[in-house]
Amino acid sequence: MKKALLLLAAIAGTLTLSAQNKKGGIDAKLLGEISQGYEGTAADKALRNALNTTAINTLALNADNIPMDTRFSDVVKTKGRTNQLSSGRCWLFTGLNVMRAKMIDKFDMGPVVLSQNYVFFYDQLEKANLFLQGIIDTKNLPDDDRTVDWLFAHPIGDGGQFTGVSNLIMKYGVVPSEVFPESMIANNTAQMRAQITNKLREDGLRLRQAPKGTDLQAMKTAQLKEIYRILALCLGVPPTEFTWTRTDSKGNVVSTKQYTPKSFYEEYIGTDLENNYIMVMNDPCHEYYKIYEIDYDRHVYDGENWVYLNLPVDEIKKMAIASIKDNTALYFSCDVNKFLIRDKGIADLNNFDYESLMGVSFGMDKKERIYTHASGSTHAMTLIAVDLKDGKPVKWMVENSWGANSGYQGNIIMTDEWFDEYMFRLVVDKKYVPASLMKYFDQKPIMLPAWDPMFLPEE
C-alpha cells in the first residue's frame, strides 16, 4: 500500500511538473521579462503609494476637463424623481417615468408616481410562468441542451427591457404609487429573488423528471400558486379596484373616482404600448438596417420577444431629437458606469485619464468592446433633454431612477461623444420614425439566441 501511494505521488508530481512546463505557461525566464513592465522608478513608486490608499477613479480624474454646462435647448416637462434603490428594476422605472411625464403634461398635474411595485408583482409572476412553460416546452431535449441549460441558469430576475413594460401594462394596467406603495422587499429584491430562483429550479427539475402521461399544466399551476404566495407575502396583494383623487399642478382637487388598474391606464395614458412604439439599437457587431429578434427575451410567455431595428447612431439621434422637441420623453439604455462621475451626474469620455495614470493604452472601439464583453447595455433611464448648437447635439440628459439627490438633480448629463460610444437602445413613438425606416419592419426578423451577451436584461 505504501509503495502504491508513493507511486501515485510520483505520477502526480510528474503530471504537475508537465503541466507547469507546457508551452504557453509562465516560466522563470518569462516572468523575469514581463516583470520589467514595472520598473520601480521614482514616478512608479509615487503612483504605487497613491494607489495604496486612493481609488483609481479619484486619481484618474482629469483636472483639465472643462466643467459641464447644464443649460439645454430642449427639455421635456417632467416632475419628481424616483429611486429603484437596491433592485434591478430600472427598465420598469424608466417605462413608467416616460408615461407619467405624458400624464403630467396632458392633465396639468403636480408630481405623480405610478406604482412600480404593482407592475413588478406581475412581472415576477409572468417570468415564473415563462420559465416553467419553457421547461415544459423543452422537456424532450437532453439535459445538456444549450436552451435547457440557459433556462436553469436564468429562471428569473428583476432586470428587463421595454417589452416587459408594454406587455405587462397592456395586460394588467397601472395604479398610482399611493394605491400600491413600494415595500422594503421591492426596494431590496435580492433575498426574495434568491428564494424564488431556488424554488423555480426545483419546480423545473420536477417537471423534467415527471413520467410520461403526467398533466404538466396542472403541475405548473400548483407550482405557480406557491410563487404567488411568496410574492403576496413579500410585495402585497395587487389591488383590483381603488379610489383615487386627482389634483392639478396647484394642488386643487379635480376629481375623485373609482378605477380598475386597466381603466386608470385607459383614462390617463391610453397609448397602445405594444403597437405604437419601436425599439432601435446601435450595435456595430450586427449589420445595420436589419430587424433582429432575441429568443426568450420577453417577460410574458404569450407576449412578444424583443424585436429591434439596428441603426447607425446618427439615425437614432434624429428620432430622439424629434421626440424631445415635441415634449415626449423616451426609454433609453446605455452602459451607464463608463466614464461617469456619479456624484455629479456627468458622463464624458474626458472625465478620467486612465492611460496616463496606468501608463498603458486602452484602444478598443465600440464594436470590439461589445465583442469582448467589455461593454453592453446595463441600465435604462428616461431621455428628457438635448442641447442643440447649430442644429447638432452637443449633450443629452436623462432622468435617472437613483433618487432626487443622485447625480445632477437626479439626472445624468452626457456629452454627444459619450452618447456615440455607450448608448445602445432607444424606444421611439412611431410618429417620430421616418417612413424610410419603418419599411424595414416588413422584414422577417433575424433570430438571435437568448445567451447573446449583448442582450442581458438591464439592471
Q: Which residues are catalytic?
A: 90, 379, 400
Strand pairing category for 306-310 and 277-281: parallel
With residue 267 as reference, give the H or E element that holds it. Answer: helix 261-268
User: Three cell numbers at 79?
Assistant: 416632475
Specify which residues 158 forms β-bridges with. none
Give residues with Cβ within 8 angstroms of 106, minimum separation 6.
Answer: 268
SS3 for 169? helix
DSSP string, 299-368: SSTTS--EEEEE--HHHHHHHHHHHHHTT--EEEEE-TTTTEETTTTEE-TTSB-HHHHHT------HHH
Place of cell 439599437: 281
- Give the cell for residue 156: 428569473
Spatial distance between the Cα atoms of 135 and 91, rounded to a whole number of angstroms: 26
337: Cβ–Cβ under 8 A, 6 or more apart, which residues? 378, 379
CB 153 within 8 A of CB 200: no
Torsion, Cα 83 84 86 88, to 10 degrees, reads -160
- Residues 6 or more apart whose Cβ sits within 8 Å of residue 248: 107, 108, 109, 110, 254
- Name the nearest CA neighbour of 162 among 446, 431, 429: 429
Helix (H), strand (E) at residue 435: helix 435-438
Q: CA 159 to CA 123: how far, in whole Å? A: 10
